[in-house]
Amino acid sequence: MTIRPTIADVAREAGVSKGLVSFALNDRPGVAAETRDRILSVANALGWRPSVRARSLSTDRSFALGLVIARDPEIISSDPFFPAFIAGIEGALAPAGQALVVSMVSNEEAEVASYRQLAAHDRVDGVILTDLRRNDPRIALLEGLRLKAVTLGHPDVESSFPAVAVDDGPGIHSAVEHLAALGHRRIAHVAGPSSMLHGGRRSQSFIDALRALGLASDLVVETDFSAAGGAKTTAALLDLDEPPTAIVFANDLMAIAGLGVAQRRGLRVPDDLSITGFDGSDIGAYLYPSLTTVTTPVLEWGRASAELLLRSVIGDDDVHDIELPAAQLLVRMSTAPPRTIR
């Protein structure tokens, strides 16, 4: 039963004052080199570690970052983004001695309550804002709460927070060009909600890409990123008098559900229908046919976000937006020339 040594123990043992110990341990000037060494060796010998709690109280910092995940309970288990993203965050936090506080909620009301709670309880120094929405109220909320933050992507409202962005555009463009090169002319898009910035951005990229190729872009259907939504929307597209020969889905989950719908109808993918996803989930590689998709550097996104937020928290001047490598097309087996030109 060894009681944990405090800074006072170190001071006594080294024959100096508490304050000087603090200076020595934080590498601050004003300590004679010799004294500093003595203090450090005593601290080491005693096995002294700073108390995060005491430091929190006196420095008004939590040494932790927060992540509030708002997801429909139905999607939450199948979303490949957050586990990888959290792993990325961890890569930046653990070496820095910081912790990650995670909150998972299922609706916007609970989401706001969660941010308020994190702030009221001083749980975190800053939060990572994901799934940016149009006119996102959370930005003003967080500013009001005096939390630091970084946003994943650039918000469409005035924001005092730095952004870490990955451009979806090139990936969607590549997907469309890939399909067009295979001979597809009637290409549909199953989009995420336009109320979400990345949902809207992906469908805009889709439309731009089609226009650039001189193709019609009337087959854009919006739904909610869920498997159920993807299935329903795919069914509706296939019910059209002139159904598409290829569908670009805004995420893998909807693409997988769409694949199931097509197969259930006896269509062969990719022969009768080509399909592309978005996310680059591993599971897509094991489906039959394996899913052509667009990959994003999720792990790196998490790491970079956490690092930037950490710098922002300590008041680093060098805090500015970061642009990560863009999303990239990963061609697998769910795309092929349309039946008509085979």
Q: Which residues bind a copy of itself (CB under 8 A)?
A: 49, 51-54, 56-57, 62-64, 71, 73-84, 86-87, 90, 94, 97, 99-106, 110, 113-114, 117-118, 120-123, 227-228, 230-231, 253, 256-257, 259-261, 263-264, 281-283, 285-288, 290, 298-299
Sign of CA dihedral 16, 18, 19, 21: positive
Which span (21-29, 221-229, 272-280, 314-322) binds DNA, by CB under 7 A?
Answer: 21-29
In the complex, the smallest distance separating the C-beta of residue 235 from DNA, rounded to whole angstroms, is 56
Which span (32-40, 127-135, 288-296, 310-318) binds DNA, by CB under 7 A?
Answer: 32-40
∠ Cα 193 299 297 (to 5°): 65
- Alpha carbons 13 and 17: distance in angstroms, whole number: 10
DSSP 8-state class, residue 196: B
In the list a copy of itself, DNA, none, the entry touching 154 (Cβ below 5 to 8 angstroms by class) is none
In the complex, the smallest distance separating the C-beta of residue 35 from a copy of itself, rounded to whole angstroms, is 27
- The H or E element spanning position 221 is strand 220-222
Which span (3-11, 112-120, 219-227, 248-256) binds DNA, by CB under 7 A?
Answer: 3-11
Q: Which is nearer to DNA, 35 or 204 (CB)?
A: 35
- Pairing status of strand 328-330 against strand 293-295: antiparallel
In the list a copy of itself, DNA, none, the entry touching 294 (Cβ below 5 to 8 angstroms by class) is none
Q: Is the peptide bond before 289 cis (omega within 30 degrees of 0)?
A: yes
| Whether 284 contacts 319, CB under 8 Å | no
Query: Is residue 117 near DNA by the rule CB under 7 A?
Result: no
Secondary structure (3-state) at 198: helix
